[in-house]
Amino acid sequence: MLSHRRCLEDSIGYQFKDLDILKEGFVAAGASSAVKDTHVSLEGNKRLAFVGDAVLRLIVADEWFPSGTSTATANKLLEEYGSNDKLSETAKARRFQDYLIRNPSQRGEDARTTLASTTEALIGAVWIDSGKDFVTTQRVVKKLGLFPKRMTR
């Protein structure tokens, strides 16, 4: 995975300082037992996915709020950009599955939820690695196509 790191970083427009955090983002739950010399727990990328989900919601809310539109609109945006379908689609389009360290029990095509979690984990990894830089993380989210179009009242 790390040998193809530059391609991944180029595709998201961000260069990682901490390669361990990048690697953790691509370890599926239960896969750490298959990886030697890893600091990643059996939860794999779930911790980063939790952070990434929250950051993605913040980024969408930050774009939505100035529009003055209803919370129903905000919820619709979150459904559109934060759904497992959209996140999984994003992972496939960026070929994140090529970097994924899988749980040994996973066979065949990667589950939609695994790919969605990986996308969220990558967002979380950027957030942590960038020192919680909102603008940097927002730029990556835009590059991933998970950013709502400019909203107006």
Q: pLDDT tens for residues 21-54? A: 998 998 887 665 555 545 556 678 999 999 999 9
- The rounded distance, in Å, linking the Cα atoms of 42 and 38 is 10
Q: Residue 134 — φ and ψ, nearest 5°? A: -60, -50
DSSP for residue 67: G
Report if residue 127 sits inside a domain.
Answer: yes
Query: DSSP 3-state assignment of 106?
Result: coil
Contacts of 95 (CB under 8 A, 6+ apart): none
* Cβ–Cβ under 8 Å, residues 81 and 108: no
Report if residue 152 sits inside a domain.
Answer: no
Residue span of the structural domain in which 33 resides: 4-144
**Mean pLDDT rounded to a whole number for the chain:** 86
- The rounded distance, in Å, linking the Cα atoms of 143 and 13 is 7
Q: How many structural domains does the chain have?
A: 1
Question: Residue 10 maps to which CATH number?
Answer: 1.10.1520.10
Report if residue 72 sits inside a domain.
Answer: yes
Query: DSSP 3-state assignment of 84?
Result: helix
* Cβ–Cβ under 8 Å, residues 16 and 125: yes
Report if residue 153 sits inside a domain.
Answer: no
Digit-coded pLDDT (tens) for 59-109:
999 999 999 999 999 999 999 999 999 999 999 999 998 888 877 666 666
Report if residue 15 sits inside a domain.
Answer: yes
Report if residue 81 sits inside a domain.
Answer: yes
